Structure 1
């Protein structure tokens, strides 16, 4: 577990910094932020606003501990929001200054495993509604559907792999729950998704082969522009 958490943390650290610095995503949103301290410890580029969202009890605990440590954020603007992801959290986010017309980066690191199918579908749908084209999304996913045969299966993909949704791995219908196959669900809902094998990620960070098993994956995705219907030519 410690190895997994270390590699996962580094992977998502790099993802957020790349999205902010090179992807033009100056709004970073962390739903179910928990004890996340990336707004304080990462070397952020200028003009980044970080929105941290969690239940009121958790946010009260976070703010109390941070104040006790006199912690200073490393982002230009940090916005803690007390809101339940099962409720009207989007109104709180918009009311705090989040601009859905601008690119954003979203990190859903853990909440999906704690939500029911309908709740996770709703959460990712709401994120999609707020994410402008070019926005980025990352989430942790448990078992890769392509690796379900057993612990000795070959990894399905690694860092830099091709986007999901090819004919060999046909996406599920749009109504499928995202936890069944998040990459396929995202592909159907306006994202260009890529799966990253965690064992390959560990190796890329200098860890020895076998440091982690290849059966867990991370997902990153980029919001695609909305489809444009073809123009209908008039008859002469």
Structure 2
């Protein structure tokens, strides 16, 4: 990792956003929609003392209710991206507190979790304290996505000659435009025929608009995450169009369309924001 890159732990910077997402996933786990079942999410939140207390069950707050609804929907979509493929490898980019290796039946598959070392160390400590055991061959890959993470991935056992499922969930808004392009270039170069990628893109790829919406809702203060400088708001290439140009077969659904398919509903005040987020599945033909 280069000296110019700032690292973070689970209660600072992007690490704290991962903790907030875990809180939302914990709330979603207890909801009637039954979109996700993550018994580890609340345990991650309880294991730390964040700058502001985070809920792990419904508390009536409109913003947390909305976050939980969207995160539950997103989690279900990415779960299906993984379980709907028989690719032997799964790579979770910026894995954060993702517990798919423990909560999904991925027997016989290799799951690689790529993230900052302190985030992975925290997650491992909590899971070990719980006596949790992965339901796959799990590999923690301590690497910064702004550095040579493919080398670390391959050192952990990843084989670019074998098909893989790649997950880019809750990731792209934090990457500068050039870093996002490089990420997709690197993933494509390491995707054997039969590979799949799942991507979440903010509405229209407009990260600046997402940032304005969050500020209007005073989301940073209400959630307890300082968003200043975290999001990369410059214009960026459309990954959906680029994937198609590279030969991937792409399916895109808006979040509110996905909610209809799952038989649930996103809160009305998300209608012009995250309800229009694009959830993308792309497959590379064998």
Could you report, residue by residue, the CA deviation over 1:24-76 in whole angstroms, capped at 9, with x for unpaired residues? 301000010000001100122x311100010111111111111111111111x
Whether 2:139 is the aligned partner of 1:73: answer no
Relative to structure 1, the CA distance from residue 137 to residue 178 in structure 2 (aligned partners, 3 Å threshold; closer, same or farther) is farther
Q: How big is the shift at 1:178? A: 9.1
Moved over 3 A (4+): 177-180, 208-214
Asked if structure 1 preserves the Cα contact closer than 8 Å seen for 2:256 and 2:265, the reply is no
Asked if structure 1 preserves the Cα contact closer than 8 Å seen for 2:253 and 2:278, the reply is yes
Asked if structure 2 preserves the Cα contact closer than 8 Å seen for 1:203 and 1:209, the reply is no
Residue of structure 2 equivalent to 1:13: 79
Correspondence for 1:4 among 22, 46, 70:
70
Relative to structure 1, the CA distance from residue 209 to residue 38 in structure 2 (aligned partners, 3 Å threshold; closer, same or farther) is closer
Residue of structure 2 equivalent to 1:188: 245
Larger CA deviation: 183-192 vs 208-217: 208-217
Residue of structure 1 equivalent to 2:258: 201
Q: How does 1:38-53 map to 2 (within 5 A)?
A: 38-44=100-106, 46-53=107-114
Select the structure that is richer in helix.
2
Secondary structure, in 3 states, of the residue corresponding to 1:144?
Answer: helix
Structure 1: 5+ residue stretches without partners? 146-176, 226-236
Q: How big is the shift at 1:210? A: 6.9
Return the TM-score normalized by structure 2. Answer: 0.62
The separation in 1 between residues aligned to 2:131 and 2:235, in whole angstroms, is: 39
Residue of structure 1 equivalent to 2:178: 118
Q: How does 1:87-98 map to 2 (within 5 A)?
A: 87-98=147-158
The separation in 1 between residues aligned to 2:149 and 2:256, in whole angstroms, is: 34
Q: How does 1:146-225 map to 2 (within 5 A)?
A: 179-208=236-265, 213=271, 214-224=275-285
Residue of structure 1 equivalent to 2:23: none
Correspondence for 1:141 among 180, 201, 206:
201
Relative to structure 1, the CA distance from residue 178 to residue 51 in structure 2 (aligned partners, 3 Å threshold; closer, same or farther) is farther
Could you report, residue by residue, the CA deviation over 1:151-202 in whole angstroms, capped at 9, with x for unpaired residues? xxxxxxxxxxxxxxxxxxxxxxxxxx99442211211233222211211211
Q: How does 1:30-41 map to 2 (within 5 A)?
A: 30-41=92-103
Structure 2: 5+ residue stretches without partners? 1-66, 206-233
> RMSD value over aligned CA atoms?
2.0
Asked if structure 1 preserves the Cα contact closer than 8 Å seen for 2:101 and 2:134, the reply is yes
Residue of structure 2 equivalent to 1:159: none
Select the structure that is richer in strand.
1
Secondary structure, in 3 states, of the residue corresponding to 1:105?
Answer: strand
Q: How big is the shift at 1:203? A: 1.4
The separation in 1 between residues aligned to 2:285 and 2:146, in whole angstroms, is: 26
Secondary structure, in 3 states, of the residue corresponding to 2:84?
Answer: helix
Asked if structure 2 preserves the Cα contact closer than 8 Å seen for 1:112 and 1:120, the reply is yes
The separation in 2 between residues aligned to 1:137 and 1:93, in whole angstroms, is: 16
Relative to structure 1, the CA distance from residue 208 to residue 3 in structure 2 (aligned partners, 3 Å threshold; closer, same or farther) is closer
